Chain A
Amino acid sequence: MATHRDAQFPSTPYIEPAPAPIGQPKVEEVGATSAPLKSAAFFIGQQCQEVNEDFMLCKNESRDPAHCLKEGRRVTRCAQDLIKKLGENCGKQWEEHWQCLEKNNQELYMCRKPERSLNQCVFEKLKLVKNIPGSPEGQPQIHEKKNPVWSGVQR
C-alpha cells in the first residue's frame, strides 16, 4: 500500500480490496525500502532524469492522480530497471552501503567508505556518476572529499 494519507479512524483501517481498474497496464511496485532507495537515489535520478522530469512537469499541469498515470508507469519501470541492473552488477557493494545506512540513521556522511566502492563499481559497470546539483564549482563534492570535518568513526 503506497499512500501518504493515513486513516483518520484507526479502528477501521483504510483497506481497499478493489483490484486495479481495468484498462490500466499492470505495474508492480518497486518494493525496495528506504535505505536501498536512498543509496541508489542519485543513480535513479541520473538514469531516469528524462522520465522523472516528464512526470513532474505532468504533475505540474494537474495534481489529479488520474492525469499522470502513463508517465508514472514509465517512472516506475525505469526505476525497476535500474534497481535490477544495480542488483546484478553491484549487488554486493550496494547491499554493503545500504546496510551501513540502516545502521547509521541513514546519514550519508557516516558511510563514505562503502559508498566509494559502490560509486566506483556503478561508474565502471553502468557508467553513472553521482553528481549533486548546485554544489560549489571547482572543489570536490561532499562525497568526494578526502578529509571531511564531519565524518563518522570510519572514513
Chain B
Amino acid sequence: MSGTIQFKQDLPPKGGYEPIRYKRNLPARGPGGLAVFGGILAICAYGFYKVGQGNLEQRELKRERAWSRIHLIPLLMAESDRDIYRREQAQLAREKELMKDVPGWEAGKSVYNNKRYNPQNFVVM
C-alpha cells in the first residue's frame, strides 16, 4: 500500500490541552457563616434583653394599677356602706312593721349565733 491519500492527523494543540478545571469554582459572596451566626445571636440577645426589661416594666405597671385601685377603695367602700346602711335600716323598719303581731320575733336578727356582721342574703321588699 502506497501512501497517496492526503490526510491530517487530529492531534492535541501544541503544548497539550489545558488541564480540566474540575475544581469547585463558586465566588464567596456576602458575610461569612460566623458573621451570620454571630449576627443572629446578637439580634436574639438584644430581643431577649428587651423582653426582660419589658417584663420588669410590666411588674411595675401592675403595681401602679394595683395602687391606683387601693387608693380608691376607702372612698368607694364608704359610699357603698352608706347606701347599704340606708337599705338595711329601711328593711328593718319594714320587717318590724310586718312582724309586729308575732310574739317573740326579733327583727333583723342574724341567723348565726355570733356577733359577726354578715351581708344579707335576701331582701324584704
B57: contacting residue among A72, A76, A148, CB under 8 A: A148
Q: Nearest Cβ in chain B — how far from A16, in angstroms? A: 5
CB-based contact A72/B117 at 8 Å: no
CB-based contact B81/A68 at 8 Å: yes
CB-based contact B80/A134 at 8 Å: no
A2 within 8 Å of B (CB atoms): yes
The size bracket of the interface on B is 35 or more
Q: Which residues of A contact B84 (CB under 8 A)?
A: 3, 5, 65
Interface of B is mostly: helix
Q: Which residues of B contact A153 (CB under 8 A)?
A: none
CB-based contact A16/B80 at 8 Å: no
Stretch at the interface among B25-33, B63-71, B98-106: B63-71
CB-based contact A72/B50 at 8 Å: no
Q: Which residues of B contact A41 (CB under 8 A)?
A: 67-69, 71-72
CB-based contact A62/B86 at 8 Å: no
B76 within 8 Å of A (CB atoms): yes
Chain B residues 49-105 with CB under 8 Å of chain A are 50, 53-54, 57-58, 60-61, 63-65, 67-91, 93
Chain A residues close to B by CB (< 8 Å): 1-5, 12, 14, 16, 18-21, 24, 27, 29-30, 37-38, 41-42, 44-45, 48, 51-52, 55-56, 59, 62-69, 71-73, 75-76, 79, 108-109, 132-136, 141-143, 145, 148-150
Closest 6 pairs between A and B when the two form their complex, measured CB to CB: A45-B71, A72-B78, A18-B90, A142-B60, A64-B117, A65-B81
